[in-house]
Structure 1
Amino acid sequence: MTKRLTILLILTITFFSCKKEVKNENQKLNVVTTTSMITDLVKNIGGDMIEVKGLMGSGVDPHLYKASEGDVNKLVTADIIFYNGLHLEGKLVEVFEKMESQDVKTIPVGESLEKNTLIGSDYFASNYDPHIWFSIKNWKIVTESVIKELSIIDPKNAEVFKTNGKTYLSKLNDLEIKLKEIISTLPKEKRILVTAHDAFSYFGKAYDFNVVGLQGLSTATEAGVQDVQKLANFIIEKEVKAIFVESSVPKRTIEALQAAVKSKDHQVTIGGTLYSDALGNPGTVEGTYIGMFEYNVNTITNALK
């Protein structure tokens, strides 16, 4: 965070600490979220009872995201903030730490998961893979956590949150069944998923895919020439038919990998664009968590068959 933004944050916090008042019965809960996946989830649970302001839109990379002046205003006036945690929003950590000293409740949804269910990593700041939403089992637990936290801070609407949550959990159960049916059409030996960065390990664990990312868990990690050549050899050896671009990562990394394979007299196609760290555009099917997940699975299975 820049020095100017740090000063702004301190001044804004000081101002709103003096001005903040208890909400009356007719005011909605003011909720701020970080990633589009969390925004979609919170909207499904809160419905018309809350006002949700998401910081990150379609195609935004949370690993590299920096708080703007507008973000600071949203954060300090929030009643509750939901963020992923596990160092996904690495450049916002300092902001969240400052929020903790104010009358703003900050909830890292990743901490609702048992540590033994997380995928470890020696190459990421938290030592855990933060891409927890690619396990529907994880997302159900996160959903329960959001229901609980909203009910605590806004008890008068607790029953609404529980009802909405029950409906959403049922949709997640249906999604899980549907995805397994789609993936079952792809032979296990073809379940090799090569993407721009290592965002799909939870997906791979859930659906028996060998997942390989050109970059590491964080897109802040650059892939070198040796990384590209090594993965190109892997693709040739395993006869991988298609590799995938990600909507929140520049496509040049995967295009470089495709070129490296071609230089060795082999061919691999780009099977499509997957949504990894952000959902699609608002108003589209891919702009929802459920729609994004189904789209990704269809794209992967169709390209690898």
Structure 2
Amino acid sequence: MKNTLYILLSILLISCGTQKEDNGKLKVVTTTTMITDLVENIGGDLIETQGMMGSGVDPHLYKPSEGDMTKLANADLIFYNGLHLEGKLVDVFEKMNARGKTTIAVSDAIDKSTLIGSDYFASNYDPHIWFDINYWTQITDYVTETLIKYNPENKVAFEKNRDIYLEKINTLNEELSDKIEELPKENRILVTAHDAFNYFGRSYDFEVVGLQGLSTATEAGVKDVQRITQFIIEHKIKAVFVESSVPRRTVEALQAAVEAQDHVVEIGGELYSDALGSAGTDEGTYIGMYRHNVNTIVNALK
């Protein structure tokens, strides 16, 4: 399957090249739902945006389909997260770069010395950068500058869209900070399915504990469940959380392990980690996703 996709990509690149749509619009392909939402906010109707991944899709494990390869081959620009978030796509992007395709990692906007490191992840950095709102504002500027570079005739409109979006992001940050102040600091312990929320924790002073590592490709084992069970009991944690893009079974196993020791921990709700919610809903946007997560966390841990 892997070789078939590479062969298809080569054929498509030779036959299609990189060109704008007949309507003259820049054709942009994005990987994760967070990046798709951002690009749509900046580009609006001035560009053609196609997202590869949908609601509930885990980018750590995502494998491109033949349809994805067609989208990529026909794109003028490709935005992806980087830092090995889209682990199964790394080879594809490398081959596309070698053939002259423009692929852009939005994580390049961030000073890597400020990233959270990891001894256990391929890139040595936590890739879940969208949970740092300051990073997301930097990425917003970076995406805007890139769109202007490749579509300069729409510079004024892109910058106006960016300014409107950044104002919404700044308002969101203030709103979330106020909401989190409702939660006593001793209750700010977030237990989730995998380590997607470390930037959130750093930003809002939460201790974050994940059953799985930074990548969902690493399964949680019995020792992980046992270790976190004891942690929950010792810290009297009221609730743990499932994630929309990760199977519920590991968190449910954790809940059962706690109950087996005569303690109770609730599943406090579903958080959006590696993907947004369904298109057309509030949670299907970056702003709505973040608001949902914080409201869910604070209300469950009070």
1:40 aligns with 2:37: yes
State the match for 1:154 in structure 2.
151
For the residues of structure 2 that align with 1:22 and 1:191, how far apart are their CA atoms? Answer: 49
For the residues of structure 1 that align with 2:139 and 2:273, how far apart are their CA atoms? Answer: 18
1:15 CA displacement = 1.8
For the residues of structure 2 that align with 1:3 and 1:162, how far apart are their CA atoms? Answer: 41
State the match for 1:198 in structure 2.
195
1:290 aligns with 2:275: no
1:141 aligns with 2:138: yes
1:243 aligns with 2:261: no
Is the contact made by 2:60 and 2:215 (CA closer than 8 Å) also made in structure 1? Answer: yes
Q: How many residues align?
A: 302
Query: After TM superposition, what 4+ stretches of structure 1 lie above 2 angstroms from structure 2?
Result: 20-24, 101-104
User: Which secondary structure does the structure 2 equivalent of 1:196 belong to?
Assistant: strand
For the residues of structure 2 that align with 1:245 and 1:258, how far apart are their CA atoms? Answer: 11
1:111 CA displacement = 1.2
* Aligned mate of 1:106, from 103, 106, 128: 103
Code of the aligned partner of 1:163: K
Code of the aligned partner of 1:233: Q
1:12 aligns with 2:9: no
- Can you list the C-alpha shifts for 1:67-124, whole angstroms capped at 9, x where unaligned? 1000000001000000000000000011111111234211100111001211000010
1:226 CA displacement = 0.7
Code of the aligned partner of 2:164: T
RMSD: 1.1
State the match for 2:259 in structure 1.
262
Code of the aligned partner of 2:6: T
State the match for 1:66 in structure 2.
63
Q: Structure 1 unaligned segments of length 5 or more: list them.
A: none
1:246 CA displacement = 0.1
For the residues of structure 2 that align with 1:260 and 1:287, how far apart are their CA atoms? Answer: 33
1:3 aligns with 2:40: no
State the match for 1:172 in structure 2.
169
- TM-score, reference length from structure 2: 0.98
Is the contact made by 2:20 and 2:26 (CA closer than 8 Å) also made in structure 1? Answer: no
Code of the aligned partner of 1:222: E
State the match for 1:28 in structure 2.
25
- Can you list the C-alpha shifts for 1:168-208, whole angstroms capped at 9, x where unaligned? 00100000000000000000000000000000000000000
User: Which secondary structure does the structure 1 equivalent of 2:68 belong to?
Assistant: helix
* Aligned mate of 2:125, from 106, 124, 128: 128
Percent of aligned pairs with the same residue?
A: 64
* Aligned mate of 2:82, from 85, 109, 117: 85
1:22 CA displacement = 6.1
Q: Structure 2 unaligned segments of length 5 or more: list them.
A: none
For the residues of structure 2 that align with 1:301 and 1:191, how far apart are their CA atoms? Answer: 8
